[in-house]
């Protein structure tokens, strides 16, 4: 048997640095804050941390608009502090990956400023006439730049200019950034919307999508009204990803990529996890699924099927872009809610693949409800009240009864209706203790990390699968209905959502 890669058995934990722990009283989380909470993370039992962007940025899209790929935003700390964080993470046997935002950079980045002046303009997409491409954040994907007297392309906000990956210098620059952080000891990158890197070289118009939803969206959100044939998922991508992979692999690092797909089917992610491209890609079919055994079954089996024997699955139930699953799949009765959250934790931590937890899900944190005046997310501000934006998934981590995230007013209000870390640590039956116990069981049994998986036949109420290897056989059975169902299970149960046995 070959040596198994660490990222296959690891459990990732995504942390939104602005909201994890503030140490200097400005209401925004920072690196010192994260350092002070590392003992919590190792107590919980996660293996790798993914930090949403911490590089210098005007923060228009909260760090997804980078103005210096090799620095640390003073809001979060500095290089020295980052190295201390990295060291402390490694000392606890965990790993750390950064968020690589390479489809676009901030218009405040010197690369863009230089291009606007007419120097190395081919690093971006400057054109004298826009085509019909649309922005995923609304409106046209082209904005006028006065200095250059041309339009430039942005798949997201006009403050986020798309880099021109057809230009080999751009890819070289990105590879240099990868080397830079990997040499310092970073363990890899989550890649933001990597399937958008390459664009059609002759900027052909995207074809119109003819569906009722697409037509309806034309005025409000035109991104849905076209097939994105020419502005993403281009054939050149494959080799770029292979080159990035080989750099990262030479440091034993990982690339975990996120695709953009307005259809919310995310069925474009699997091919990129094959053929020496990315080790891992996200697939959000489960995240977007209805809470039902057949829907979950479908989401899981199709993802596993698409990856075949070569690709390795990842699982995420929540992240910083979508409403938290405690709300999405929430149920009124607190007792049922707790049971549901426990089953979901068990699901994501025992399916074959790499789970990626989102900070606060271990507490059952719900989507925060914000007033119009409290909104921070530019997308929420633009589309309110039709879409409230993503702030609700980014509220501060509640550490204790007083909050404990910051001495001052936090940049977003705390969410409501869920108890804090300290309280849950003191209650054996809490969701937090459950996460910790399932993580411990997972760590103790390599079968649950790397064993084969077979999904049992679809059932209206139950979702069941087995994990097996030469050493052991586990059967996971989830009851997704609200009624008790009796199931015959051979052998001793290791845990059930009511109790654990050791």
Catalytic positions, written as ranges: 192, 258
Q: 385: number of CA atoms within 13 Å, CB side?
A: 4
156 belongs to the binding site for ligand NOJ (CB under 6 A): yes
24-29, Cβ contacts within 8 angstroms, sequence gap of 24 or more: 25/406, 25/407, 25/408, 26/75, 26/406, 26/408, 27/406, 27/408, 27/409, 27/410, 27/411, 28/75, 28/406, 28/410, 28/411, 29/76, 29/396, 29/405, 29/406
**Cβ closer to ligand NOJ: 20 or 434?**
20
Q: How far is the CB of 53 from ligand NOJ (least distance, A)?
A: 9
Which of 200, 295, 321, 456 binds ligand NOJ (CB under 6 A)? It is 321
- Closest approach, Cβ 236 to ligand NOJ, in A, equals 20
The minimum distance between CB 258 and ligand NOJ, in angstroms, equals: 6
Nearer to ligand NOJ, 155 or 350 (CB): 155
What are the beta bridge partners of residue 357? 13
Distances (CA, A) of 419 to 298, 353, 414, 423: 33, 30, 11, 6
How many residues interact with ligand NOJ (rule CB under 6 A)? 8
Q: Quick one: 394 or 467, whose CB is closer to ligand NOJ? A: 394
Contact between 16 and ligand NOJ (CB under 6 A)?
no
State the nearest-atom distance from the C-beta of 384 to ligand NOJ, in Å.
16
Q: Kindly tell me which of 101 and 432 has the beta carbon lying closer to ligand NOJ.
A: 101
- Residue 339 Cβ vs ligand NOJ, minimum distance, rounded to whole Å: 30
Alpha-carbon span 456 to 466, nearest angstrom:
8
Shortest distance, position 86 Cβ to ligand NOJ, whole Å: 22
Question: Which residues contact residue 250 at a Cβ distance below 8 angstroms, ignoring those fewer than 6 apart?
Answer: none
Residue nearest ligand NOJ (C-beta atom): 64
Q: Report if residue 262 touches ligand NOJ, rule: CB under 6 A.
A: no
* Residue 51 and residue 433 in contact, taking contact as beta carbons nearer than 8 Å: no
193 touches ligand NOJ by CB under 6 A: yes
**Residues 31-70 contacting ligand NOJ, CB under 6 A:** 61, 64
> Toward ligand NOJ, which CB reaches closer, 165 or 474?
165
Q: Which is nearer to ligand NOJ, 249 or 267 (CB)?
A: 267
* Closest-CA residue to 196 (of 159, 162, 147): 162
CA distances from 256 to 66, 212, 251, 356 (A): 19, 34, 15, 10
Phi-psi region of 78 (alpha: psi -120 to 50; beta: other; left: phi over 0): beta
User: Strand 188-191's sheet: what is its strand order?
Assistant: 280-281, 254-257, 188-191, 95-100, 48-51, 12-15, 354-358, 314-315
Rounded distance, CA 54 to CA 181, Å?
Answer: 13
CA separation for the pair 273, 444 (Å, rounded) = 28
Q: Check binding of 162 to ligand NOJ (CB under 6 A).
A: no
Q: C-beta of 255: minimal distance to ligand NOJ in Å?
A: 15
The answer to whether residue 231 forms part of the interface with ligand NOJ (CB under 6 A) is no
Among 35, 44, 89, 101, binds ligand NOJ (CB under 6 A): 101
Q: Does 153 bind ligand NOJ (CB under 6 A)?
A: no
Q: Which is nearer to ligand NOJ, 64 or 181 (CB)?
A: 64
Residues that bind ligand NOJ (CB under 6 A): 61, 64, 101, 156, 192-193, 320-321
């Amino acid at each position: 048997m070959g040596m198994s890669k660490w990222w296959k058995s690891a459990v990732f934990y995504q942390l939104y640095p602005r909201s994890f722990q503030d140490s200097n009283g400005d209401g925004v989380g920072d690196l010192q804050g994260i350092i002070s909470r590392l003992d919590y993370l190792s107590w919980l039992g996660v293996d790798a941390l993914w930090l949403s962007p911490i590089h210098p940025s005007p923060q228009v899209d909260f760090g997804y608009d980078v103005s210096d790929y090799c620095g640390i935003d003073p809001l979060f700390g500095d290089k020295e502090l980052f190295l201390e964080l990295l060291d402390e993470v490694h000392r606890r046997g965990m790993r750390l990956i950064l968020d690589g935002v390479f489809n676009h950079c901030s218009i405040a980045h010197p690369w863009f400023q230089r291009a606007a002046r007419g120097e190395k303009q081919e690093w971006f997409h400057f054109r004298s006439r826009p085509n019909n491409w649309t922005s995923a954040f609304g409106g046209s994907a082209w904005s006028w730049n006065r200095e250059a007297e041309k339009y430039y392309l942005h798949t997201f906000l006009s403050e986020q200019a798309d880099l021109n990956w057809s230009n080999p210098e751009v890819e070289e620059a990105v590879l240099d950034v990868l080397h830079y952080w990997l040499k310092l000891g970073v363990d890899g990158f989550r890649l933001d919307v990597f399937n958008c890197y390459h664009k059609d070289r002759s900027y052909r118009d995207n074809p119109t999508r003819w569906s009722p939803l697409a037509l309806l969206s034309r005025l409000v959100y035109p991104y849905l009204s076209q097939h994105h044939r020419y502005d993403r998922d281009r054939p050149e991508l494959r080799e770029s990803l292979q080159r990035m992979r080989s750099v990262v692999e030479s440091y034993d690092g990982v690339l975990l990529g996120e695709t953009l797909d307005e259809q919310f089917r995310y069925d474009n992610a699997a091919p990129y996890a094959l053929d020496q491209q990315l080790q891992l890609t996200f697939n959000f079919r489960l995240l977007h699924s209805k809470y039902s055994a057949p829907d979950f079954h479908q989401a899981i089996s199709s993802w596993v099927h698409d990856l075949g024997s070569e690709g390795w699955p990842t699982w995420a139930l929540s992240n910083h872009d979508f409403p938290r699953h405690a709300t999405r799949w929430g149920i009124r009765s607190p007792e049922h809610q707790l049971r549901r959250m426990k089953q979901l934790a068990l699901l994501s931590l025992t399916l074959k693949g790499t789970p990626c937890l989102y900070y606060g899900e271990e507490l059952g944190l719900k989507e925060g409800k914000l007033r119009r005046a409290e909104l921070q997310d530019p997308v929420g501000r633009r589309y309110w009240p039709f879409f409230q934006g993503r702030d609700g998934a980014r509220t501060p981590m509640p550490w204790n009864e007083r909050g404990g995230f910051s001495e001052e007013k936090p940049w977003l209000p705390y969410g409501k209706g869920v108890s804090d870390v300290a309280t849950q640590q003191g209650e054996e039956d809490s969701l937090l203790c459950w996460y910790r116990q399932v993580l411990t069981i997972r760590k103790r049994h390599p079968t649950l990390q790397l064993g084969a998986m077979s999904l049992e036949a679809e059932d209206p109420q139950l979702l069941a699968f087995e994990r097996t290897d030469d050493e052991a056989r586990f059967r996971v059975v989830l009851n997704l209905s609200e009624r008790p169902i009796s199931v015959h299970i051979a052998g001793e149960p290791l845990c059930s959502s009511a109790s654990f046995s050791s």
